[in-house]
Amino acid sequence: MNQPEFKGQNAGEEPLDPATLRVQTKLKRLLAGSSLVMFAGFIAVFAAIFYKINSSDNSLSADTIASTISLGGSVEVQQVSLEDGRLVLLVEEAGVQSIVYADPSSGSILGRTRFLNR
């Protein structure tokens, strides 16, 4: 390990000429620059994911949801989901299925789509 003639190059190798050294330094700069750009891209992607997770739309709370929604007679609710700020209910009434759209804050019925068997 104690080799006084060792100066960063392997023994027997000739030193690089100036043109090759310039190309080598340019490549090192390009590698460093592209690595920084890639690192900044990763930070931007993770920041966007973190922002999206923490800024979820919590506009509906217990105070803004209607306590009752009147659907009529003998209606059986089979499934409920919240889509685009509207309650979407899959209901069955007298053997006919339909989709009922309701406003979650007021409880009013916005529309109804019936499925008819033909």
In a domain, 3, yes or no: no
In a domain, 77, yes or no: yes
Smallest CA-to-CA distance from 101 within 114, 89, 115 is with 89
In a domain, 107, yes or no: yes
**Are 93 and 72 in contact, with CB atoms under 8 Å apart?**
yes
In a domain, 94, yes or no: yes
Please tell me the distance from the alpha carbon of residue 101 to that of residue 108, in angstroms, as a whole number.
9
Residue 56's φ and ψ, nearest 5 degrees, are -65, 150
In a domain, 5, yes or no: no
Q: Are residues 118 and 68 in the same domain?
A: yes
Q: Are residues 17 and 47 in the same domain?
A: yes
In a domain, 35, yes or no: yes
Q: Are residues 82 and 98 in the same domain?
A: yes
In a domain, 88, yes or no: yes
In a domain, 102, yes or no: yes
- Residue 28, domain extent: 11-56
Q: Are residues 52 and 98 in the same domain?
A: no
> Is pLDDT of 5 > 90?
no
Predicted TM-score (pTM) of this structure: 0.46
User: Would you give the DSSP letter of residue 85?
Assistant: T
pLDDT of residue 43: 97
pLDDT of residue 1: 53
Q: Which residue has the tokens 């993770």?
A: 46
> Is pLDDT of 42 > 90?
yes
pLDDT of residue 7: 58
Q: Span 83-95, mean pLDDT?
A: 86
- Count up the domains in the chain and report the number: 2
% of the chain surpassing 90 pLDDT:
31
**Are 91 and 114 in contact, with CB atoms under 8 Å apart?**
no
User: Would you give the DSSP letter of residue 118?
Assistant: -
